Chain A
Amino acid sequence: MSKDEGAEVVLRLDRISKSFGALKANDAVSLALRRGEVVALLGENGAGKTTLMNILFGHYMADEGGVEVFGQPLPPGNPRAALAAGVGMVHQHFTLAGNLTVLENIRLGTERLWARRHPDSRGKVERLSRDFGLAVHPDAKVGRLSVGERQRVEILKALYRDARILILDEPTAVLTPQESDALFATLRKATALGLSVIFISHKLHEVMAIADRCIVLRHGRVVGEVDTHATDKGRLAALMVGGELSLPRAEARAPGPVLMQLDGVTTPDRGAVPGLKRLTLALRAGQITGLAGVSGNGQAALAEVIAGLALPSAGTLTVHGAPVTDWSPRAALAKGVGRIPEDRHHQGSIGDFDLTENAVLEAYRSRFSRRGWMNWRAARAFAQEIIASYDVRCPGPETRIRLLSGGNMQKLILGRAMASGPDIILANQPVRGLDVGAIAYVQSQLIAARDRGAAVLLISEDLDEIMGLSDVIHVISQGRLSPGFARGSMSAADLGLWMAGQKFEGADAA
């Protein structure tokens, strides 16, 4: 799939540099995009991909370097100029207003604020939907749309403004493999019509599938630029990570007794997010149970039940053979449930508290106080112990935790969860947003816990992570749970059909 080398260069980034404090997010990054081509920007989390695109789009201003679109220099720090020049961006976190309709979201900002007459926006949106295969109803409230539909709205927003260059930031993170294929089809239609695409990803197989060329970023620097047809996944991975670091893979083991059992567990729907639908799941000792699924399909509800934040509205939860009635985070902790929350910043830690205070958040009553008086000396010693044994890089236990990197923050949370020797572990997206080194560390700790005989529930949207670590895999879709699949018994494509919900209809009918 080689493109004409001589095609017009539509976008040129020239030696872009950008620092945040001491962190050099982009270091003299250059890039050229030609008409009708898909260039992948590949790199692990924190490599500087999103920063680079935010500079291009005008959300940030570069410290050095310039951007040219269709030969014209783009004024920095001005999203409006980027939009006018034909650059459209689909952000990783959608930028849609949920209280507005699809059409309103698309029209937003395209007309003069005092305009009296409106162009025929509906006709244009309908035509674009048809041409690019982006089905979505223009009058639907965005707040009620599925994630896949919202992404279509985002792409329509860019196309509606006649974007000639599309930037997609991790667009498949929220899609099923099948939805991703549909997205790729849309992108191929776009390039056939002469649009150019920058595709940001850290997933190698996607890059190989869609991109013509691939630019690899590491620590803010371009470390390689290759034609995808002239390389393979292994070489790209080596470029991306820059070393031989490989992720741990768990070997199969014989499972022990059931430590936690959910029977017919149901929780109420929350707006567009489905609750659990008569879900039955057993977590066994010495086993990692992987939960795959597209985000927003009930993972949060399940995690809340296990973490003690919510009681099922129907069904039973049995821990160590006894059904629980009085269920709260404290009760869960008392029953030996260790919890790694999905969101480190909002659930897992208190940013302006120091490491000592964060370390004792869960056990301050049981272990670090007496009759209501805190024992700060013991608390500090405990924090130091976690810092030492979990390799938390920090100036000391009195550092405020928000100054730590994501990886070090996660290590402290991990250490806190593991300190009481839990035999049931909820790991909700434990490595999201971490660099490869921290990912390997966290995953090896989960495997070690399993080997000690703990029952681990691993919730992740990253299918590779689930397939690499889990002894048994369940898929969640619309609050329903698939049967458990033994390690290696299913391909990614098979799991994808479950994730899309198609297999459930068959199972329900049977």
Chain B
Amino acid sequence: MSEIIDILISASFWAAVIRIASPLILATMGELICERAGVLNLGIEGIMVIGAFAGWMAVYQGMPLWGGVAVAMGAGMLFGLLHSTLTVPFGLSQHVVGLGVTLLATSSASFAYRLMLPEVTSPPKIAPFQPLHIPGLSDLPWLGAALSQTALTWAAFAMAGGVAFTLYRTPLGLAVRAVGENPAAVEAQGLSVTGLRMGAVIVGSGLMAVGGAFLTLSAFSSFFFEMVNGRGWICIALVVFGAWRPGKAVLGAILFAAFDALQIRLQQTPLGAALPYQLFLALPFILSILALILMSRRAEVPAALMVPYNKGER
């Protein structure tokens, strides 16, 4: 027990929590935007993979780190365009299209990787984002260490704030919230349901891809095939857990990251050594299922989520 308390009060633990939460926050915000507009985006897992790959590859080819972030975002938006074209104007099954997009994005990344690096056995490293030194803040005891984070982490949190502000404080956000609830209301007020939904999916997919790029550009410094490893699906659970609200979803991501960081550290303890490490690795997935169960009765699902809108359907 005292081991756990030691872990929980250490600054390095909280630094890890914030680091682990960052990609989750980015991708969860992306998914949240899509779902608020009424589209379930199961492409998230693959879009994170393509984001991780594209960002990393761009930097490896000589682009600056932020250039890599932009390339990742662009790649994600491209797959968002594909997803939304099929699910919004054509109204195809969001389940099937989402899985198809995940498959296509994942295999595209693998294909491109092999094409560009046919011979390598272990992927090359890039110079990733480094923790920002913020005068004053970084010198504080404990807090300075816990907040020793890269610019991309700061950007992730700022972005979550931006999503919340846009959703609740701007006419655009009002329209997005409305289109996920009742697209007919949006159309009757002269706005384009197709435009809003496609826009939401494209922007949301861009954010998911940046979440993936965080893994290669900030967390680790190279690309592995299995590196996203279900994080996308976890983010879908986080959206539900956060009841489709940005603030709660961020809290959920942090809570989740705390468990993840804790399990990594518990593995090092005598207790952890006694248990199979796979059990610890499974914890995030088990937690996600528990979160879904916990929220099942209470969440206010956007009423038109997964309901395609065909203009003038009779």
Whole-angstrom distance between the Cβ of B85 and the nearest chain A Cβ: 20
Binds B, one of A28-36, A104-112, A472-480: A104-112
> Bound state CA distance, A43 and B185, in angstroms?
26
Does A430 make an interface contact (CB < 8 A)? no
Does A246 make an interface contact (CB < 8 A)? no
Q: Which of B181, B191, B303 contacts A109 (CB 8 A)?
A: B191
What residue of chain A has the Cβ atom nearest to residue B176's Cβ?
Answer: A113
Q: Which of B170, B302, B303 contacts A114 (CB 8 A)?
A: B170
B residues 145-201 with Cβ under 8 Å of A?
A: 170-172, 174-175, 177-178, 181-182, 184-191
Does A180 make an interface contact (CB < 8 A)? no
Does A93 make an interface contact (CB < 8 A)? yes
Q: Would you call A108 and B191 a contact (CB within 8 A)?
A: yes
Does A375 make an interface contact (CB < 8 A)? no
Task: Mark interface residues in B295-314 (1 if CB within 8 Å of A CB, else 0).
Answer: 00000101100000001101
Q: Which residues of A contact B181 (CB under 8 A)?
A: 97-100
Whole-angstrom distance between the Cβ of B90 and the nearest chain A Cβ: 18
What residue of chain B has the Cβ atom nearest to residue A115's Cβ?
Answer: B171
What residue of chain A has the Cβ atom nearest to residue B179's Cβ?
Answer: A97
B residues 263-314 with Cβ under 8 Å of A?
A: 300, 302-303, 311-312, 314
Q: Which of B171, B178, B187, B300 contacts A111 (CB 8 A)?
A: B171
A residues 81-114 with Cβ under 8 Å of B?
A: 82-84, 89, 91, 93, 95-100, 104-105, 107-114
Whole-angstrom distance between the Cβ of B50 and the nearest chain A Cβ: 28
Does A60 make an interface contact (CB < 8 A)? yes
Q: Which residues of B contact A107 (CB under 8 A)?
A: 171, 174
Whole-angstrom distance between the Cβ of A226 and the nearest chain B Cβ: 29
Whole-angstrom distance between the Cβ of B69 and the nearest chain A Cβ: 23
Q: Would you call B312 and A105 a contact (CB within 8 A)?
A: no
A residues 248-303 with Cβ under 8 Å of B?
A: none
Q: Which of B174, B182, B188, B191 contacts A89 (CB 8 A)?
A: B188
Chain A contact residue count (CB 8 A cutoff): 31
Task: Mark interface residues in B34-75 (1 if CB within 8 Å of A CB, else 0).
Answer: 000000000000000000000000000000000000000000
Whole-angstrom distance between the Cβ of B28 and the nearest chain A Cβ: 20
Whole-angstrom distance between the Cβ of B301 and the nearest chain A Cβ: 10
Interface residues on B, range: 20 to 34
Q: Which of B170, B177, B185, B302 contacts A95 (CB 8 A)?
A: B185
Whole-angstrom distance between the Cβ of A67 and the nearest chain B Cβ: 16
Q: Which residues of A contact B300 (CB under 8 A)?
A: 99
Whole-angstrom distance between the Cβ of B35 and the nearest chain A Cβ: 13
Whole-angstrom distance between the Cβ of A119 and the nearest chain B Cβ: 11
What residue of chain A has the Cβ atom nearest to residue B191's Cβ?
Answer: A109
Does A54 make an interface contact (CB < 8 A)? yes
Whole-angstrom distance between the Cβ of A245 and the nearest chain B Cβ: 25
Most chain A beta-carbon neighbours within 10 Å: one of B302, B311, B312: B312
Does A157 make an interface contact (CB < 8 A)? yes
Q: Which residues of A contact B191 (CB under 8 A)?
A: 80, 108-109
Q: Which residues of A contact B187 (CB under 8 A)?
A: 59, 79, 95
Q: Would you call A109 and B170 a contact (CB within 8 A)?
A: no
Most chain A beta-carbon neighbours within 10 Å: one of B177, B188, B311, B312: B188
Q: Which residues of B contact A96 (CB under 8 A)?
A: 182, 185
Q: Which of A59, A84, A93, A97 contacts B311 (CB 8 A)?
A: A59
Q: Would you call A97 and B178 a contact (CB within 8 A)?
A: yes
> Bound state CA distance, A273 and B102, in angstroms?
41
What residue of chain A has the Cβ atom nearest to residue B300's Cβ?
Answer: A99
Known: A98-B181, A109-B191. A114 touches B172 (CB 8 A): yes
Whole-angstrom distance between the Cβ of B13 and the nearest chain A Cβ: 38
Q: Would you call B172 and A113 a contact (CB within 8 A)?
A: yes
Q: Would you call A98 and B188 a contact (CB within 8 A)?
A: no
Q: Would you call A98 and B189 a contact (CB within 8 A)?
A: no
Q: Would you call B178 and A100 a contact (CB within 8 A)?
A: yes
Q: Would you call A109 and B172 a contact (CB within 8 A)?
A: no
Q: Which of A60, A84, A113, A114 contacts B312 (CB 8 A)?
A: A60
Whole-angstrom distance between the Cβ of B310 and the nearest chain A Cβ: 11
What residue of chain A has the Cβ atom nearest to residue B199's Cβ?
Answer: A113
What residue of chain B has the Cβ atom nearest to residue A77's Cβ?
Answer: B311
What residue of chain A has the Cβ atom nearest to residue B171's Cβ?
Answer: A111
Q: Would you call B177 and A99 a contact (CB within 8 A)?
A: yes
Q: Which residues of B contact A59 (CB under 8 A)?
A: 187, 311-312
Q: Which residues of A contact B177 (CB under 8 A)?
A: 97, 99-100
What residue of chain B has the Cβ atom nearest to residue A105's Cβ?
Answer: B185
Q: Would you call A79 and B302 a contact (CB within 8 A)?
A: no
What residue of chain B has the Cβ atom nearest to residue A113's Cβ?
Answer: B172
> Bound state CA distance, A93 and B189, in angstroms?
14
A residues 59-80 with Cβ under 8 Å of B?
A: 59-60, 79-80
A residues 109-139 with Cβ under 8 Å of B?
A: 109-115, 118
> Bound state CA distance, A54 and B312, in angstroms?
8
What residue of chain B has the Cβ atom nearest to residue A99's Cβ?
Answer: B181
Q: Which residues of B contact A99 (CB under 8 A)?
A: 177-178, 181, 300, 302-303
> Can you list 26 pairs linking A and B with CB atoms under 8 Å apart?
A20-B314, A60-B312, A79-B188, A79-B189, A80-B190, A84-B190, A91-B188, A93-B184, A95-B182, A95-B184, A95-B187, A95-B188, A97-B178, A97-B186, A98-B181, A99-B177, A99-B300, A100-B174, A100-B177, A107-B171, A108-B178, A108-B186, A109-B186, A112-B171, A113-B171, A118-B171
Binding site for B on A (CB under 8 A): 20, 54, 59-60, 79-80, 82-84, 89, 91, 93, 95-100, 104-105, 107-115, 118, 157
Extra inter-chain contacts (19) besides given A95-B185, A99-B303, A109-B191, CB under 8 Å: A89-B188, A91-B184, A95-B187, A96-B185, A97-B177, A97-B178, A97-B185, A97-B186, A98-B303, A99-B178, A100-B181, A107-B171, A107-B174, A108-B171, A108-B178, A108-B185, A111-B171, A112-B171, A114-B172
The 6 closest A-B pairs by CB, nearest first: A109-B189, A80-B190, A95-B188, A113-B172, A97-B178, A97-B181
Binding site for A on B (CB under 8 A): 170-172, 174-175, 177-178, 181-182, 184-191, 300, 302-303, 311-312, 314
